[in-house]
């Protein structure tokens, strides 16, 4: 009976290790992202503010030459999704840190805390129509 339990535990641990390592390359950190509003920007750093139920939280990221900056334009691309359905996604163009302004919505991609790998400046959302305008 003990040998069956040991074999079961070994199989369960093997499955857990295999499923954990299959989603990510070994030794490579996982990319994370944070979205928010730009509250401060200068040549080497970017501060974004995230609003949530617990209040506002600011995060500072270092921006360097390796940081890829993309800016969404007002034009759309049509791409095919699963099942042949089409959807529209915003076109992007490359930009510089000088193109980033305070109060813009951004998404920062990073693998190391405090160091931005990518920065996506989101286009402004159109104002919502009021009930009387429908």
What are the pLDDT digits (tens) for 18-50? 545 445 566 778 999 999 999 999 989 999 999
Domains of the chain are 28-126 (2.40.50)
In the predicted model, is pLDDT for residue 124 greater than 50? yes
Block residue for tokens 């959302």: 125
At 105 the pLDDT is 95
Residue 18 is inside which H or E element, if any?
helix 2-22
**Which tokens belong to 74?**
């007002």
At 43 the pLDDT is 81
Block residue for tokens 């609003």: 51
CA distance 93 to 74: 11
Q: Residues 67-123: pLDDT tens digits? A: 999 999 999 999 888 888 998 999 999 999 999 999 999 999 999 989 999 999 999
At 23 the pLDDT is 52
At 134 the pLDDT is 57
At 84 the pLDDT is 84
Give the other-Cβ count within 10 Å of 71's Cβ.
Answer: 20
Query: Would you call 25 helix, strand, or coil by DSSP?
Result: coil
At 11 the pLDDT is 45
**C-alpha 49: how far from chain center:** 15
């Amino acid at each position: 009976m003990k040998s069956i339990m040991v074999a079961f535990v070994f199989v369960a641990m093997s499955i857990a290790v295999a499923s954990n390592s299959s989603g990510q390359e070994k030794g490579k950190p996982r990319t994370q992202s944070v979205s928010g509003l730009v509250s401060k920007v200068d040549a080497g750093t970017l501060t974004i503010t995230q609003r949530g139920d617990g209040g506002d939280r600011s995060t500072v990221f270092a921006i360097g030459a390796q940081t890829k900056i993309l800016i969404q334009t007002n034009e759309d691309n049509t791409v095919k999704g699963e099942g042949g359905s089409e959807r529209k996604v915003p076109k992007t163009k490359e930009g510089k840190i000088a193109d980033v302004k305070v109060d813009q919505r951004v998404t920062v991609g990073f693998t190391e805390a405090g160091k931005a790998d990518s920065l996506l400046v989101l286009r402004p959302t159109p104002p919502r129509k009021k009930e009387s305008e429908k």
